[in-house]
Structure 1
Amino acid sequence: MRINGQKAWAAGLALGLAVLAGGCTSIRDHRGYIVDSMLIDAVQPGIDNRTSVERTLGRPTFVSQFGQQDWYYVSQNVRTPPFSRPRTASQMVMRVRFDPAGNVTGVDKRGVEQVARIGPEGDKTPTLGRHRSFLEDLFGNVGSVGAGGMGQTPTGPGPNGS
Structure 2
Amino acid sequence: MRQFSRQSRSGRLLLAGGLVALALGMSGCTRIRTHQGYQVDKLLVDSIQPGIDNRASVEGTLGRPTFAAQFGDQDWYYVSRDMRALAFSNPKPVAQTVLRVRFDAAGNVTAVDRMGLEQVARISPSGDKTPTLGRHRSLLDEIFGNIGAVGAGGMGGMGGGGSNTGGGPNGS
Distance change (3 Å), C-alpha of 1:16 and 1:127: closer
| Post-superposition offset of 1:69 | 2.1
| Post-superposition offset of 1:124 | 2.0
| Post-superposition offset of 1:12 | 5.0
Q: Deviations over 1:48-91 (max 9, x none)?
A: 11111111111111111304521110111122321222222211
Aligned to 1:56: 61
Distance between the aligned counterparts of 1:12 and 1:138, measured in 2? Answer: 54
Structure 1: gaps spanning 5 or more residues: 149-162
User: What amino acid is aligned across from residue 63 of structure 1 in structure 2?
Assistant: A
Distance change (3 Å), C-alpha of 1:45 and 1:140: same
User: What amino acid is aligned across from residue 136 of structure 1 in structure 2?
Assistant: D
Aligned to 2:42: 37
Counterparts of 1:143-162 in structure 2, within 5 Å, are 143-146=148-151
Aligned to 1:136: 141
Distance change (3 Å), C-alpha of 1:14 and 1:130: closer
Instruction: Confirm whether residue 82 of structure 1 aligns to residue 87 of structure 2.
Output: yes
Instruction: Confirm whether residue 122 of structure 1 aligns to residue 127 of structure 2.
Output: yes
Share of identical aligned residues, percent?
61
Distance change (3 Å), C-alpha of 1:8 and 1:129: closer
| Post-superposition offset of 1:113 | 1.2
Q: What SS is found at the alignment partner of 2:45? A: helix
Aligned to 2:103: 98
Work out the number of aligned pairs and report it.
148
Distance between the aligned counterparts of 2:68 and 2:103, measured in 1? Answer: 11
Distance change (3 Å), C-alpha of 1:19 and 1:123: closer
TM-score by length of 1: 0.78
Instruction: Confirm whether residue 22 of structure 1 aligns to residue 27 of structure 2.
Output: yes
User: What amino acid is aligned across from residue 61 of structure 1 in structure 2?
Assistant: T
What root-mean-square deviation, in Å, do the aligned CA atoms of Structure 1 and Structure 2 show?
2.3
Aligned to 1:70: 75
